[in-house]
Amino acid sequence: MKFLDQTKIYIRSGNGGAGCVSFRREKFIEYGGPDGGDGGRGGDVWIESADGLNTLIDYRYQQHFNAGTGGHGMGKSRHGADGKSITLKVPTGTQVLDEDKETIIADLHEPGMRVLLARGGNGGFGNEHFKSSVNRAPRHANPGQEGEERTLWLRLKLIADAGLVGLPNAGKSTFLRAVSAATPKVADYPFTTLYPHLGVVTVGDERFVMADLPGLIEGAAEGAGLGTRFLGHVERCVALIHLIDATQDNATESYRIVRHELENYGGDLASKPEIVALNKIDALTPAEAKRKRAALSRAIGKEVRLVSGVSGAGVRELSAEIAQLLRARRAGEEEAPAPQQSERDWTP
């Protein structure tokens, strides 16, 4: 299945049905009168987040969505039927943006969330609605109200607990293969990963979702390489796992390049908890791996882990540390007291 995380759609709610002008004329009925029914209401356009979806590919080839038009009123006080509403199913984590691609209309960050995008037009009144003691035979009815028409953007931000970041060929896909059942493409050339992959990691009785993102290069914030388009998928992550290729000459510079792009992107990515790990230690001797870890740790002022997605060295320990970090963060969010409203700001 092709991955698509951004698309443009056109929606239109249904028009309301027109009211009817009609008079009752039946044999042996002494008193007739207006009996034109009202028009039906136009259908609405809804959007709903659903489990089991992880891409917006369904909206790649069908981009126009129209709700049903309300039925017209008829004689004998018959009202028109309401138009059929439509519901757009999208993956959890989808944001709905206005045509300017900046104004967020809805953020469907939980399964089952349902938001009204366009309301259908009201049906018109038939002439029966206008009868009164001074207007016994009204000969006019209202047309139905027109529906709403909008152009929207759908942008998907995957829901993951931990995100893998790093330069191209840092071994992120290999690491995800080692800790989960995901099967992202692995090759010995840069930009093997062209779109994010998700994997479910199991550590004891705990499970969490890890996202493998395409590699970043210097200048990604200005559009170099694959740019920072996919960094939106880690905005919802609790923690970042920064993998660095241990076989390269300057690991410190690689770390600073990625950190610089995270800071330029914004979205509070630079302030998220980060675990730094030197990957591919299977290609080094134990002495070389320890020397590079000590040098990198002194340069960045953080603890550095040693792992290998190929041999599995340090993978289980790093997975357990990630699970412990996520557990602590979730516990902290649950224990955080809700903000109390001051008595001065209280209103009935």
CATH number at residue 321: 3.40.50.300
Beta-bridge partners for 11: 65, 150
Q: Which residue has better confidence, 228 or 196?
A: 196
108 shares its domain with 190: no
Number of domains in the chain: 2
CATH assignment at residue 136: 2.70.210.12
Cα–Cα distance measured from residue 245 to residue 52, given in angstroms and rounded to the nearest whole number: 34
Q: Cβ neighbours of residue 53 under 8 Å, at least 6 residues apart? A: 89, 90, 91, 92
Mean pLDDT across the stretch 4-22? 93
CA 308 to chain centre: 32
Q: Is residue 34 in a domain?
A: yes
Q: Which residue has better confidence, 218 or 163?
A: 163
Q: Give the pLDDT confidence score for residue 348 in this predicted structure.
A: 42
CA 196 to chain centre: 14
Q: Give the pLDDT confidence score for residue 12 in this predicted structure.
A: 96
222 shares its domain with 139: no
Helices assigned H by DSSP within 143-285: 172-179, 251-265
Residue type for 319, please?
A: S
Q: In this structure, how many other beta carbons lie within 10 angstroms of the beta carbon of residue 103?
A: 10
pLDDT digits (tens, 9 = 90+) for 39-89: 999 999 999 998 878 788 889 889 999 999 999 999 999 999 999 999 999
Contact 67, 127 (CB under 8 A): no
Q: Is residue 246 in a domain?
A: yes
Half-sphere exposure of 248 (CA within 13 A, CB side): 17
Token code pair at residue 127? 């002439």
Q: Give the pLDDT confidence score for residue 339 in this predicted structure.
A: 47
% of the chain with per-residue pLDDT over 90: 33
Strands of the chain (E only): list them. 6-12, 23-24, 33-34, 45-50, 64-66, 86-91, 94-97, 104-108, 114-118, 149-156, 162-165, 197-203, 206-212, 239-245, 274-279, 304-306
pLDDT at residue 152 is higher than 90: yes
The residue from 156, 172, 203 where one domain ends is: 156
Mean pLDDT across the stretch 175-185? 78
Which residue range(s) make up the domain with 56? 6-156
Q: Give the pLDDT confidence score for residue 8 in this predicted structure.
A: 94
The residue from 115, 139, 156 where one domain ends is: 156
Q: Highest mean pLDDT range out of 111-120, 163-172, 194-203, 240-249?
A: 111-120
Q: pLDDT class for 23, splitting at 50, 70, 90?
A: very high
211 shares its domain with 126: no
Q: Give the pLDDT confidence score for residue 188 in this predicted structure.
A: 57
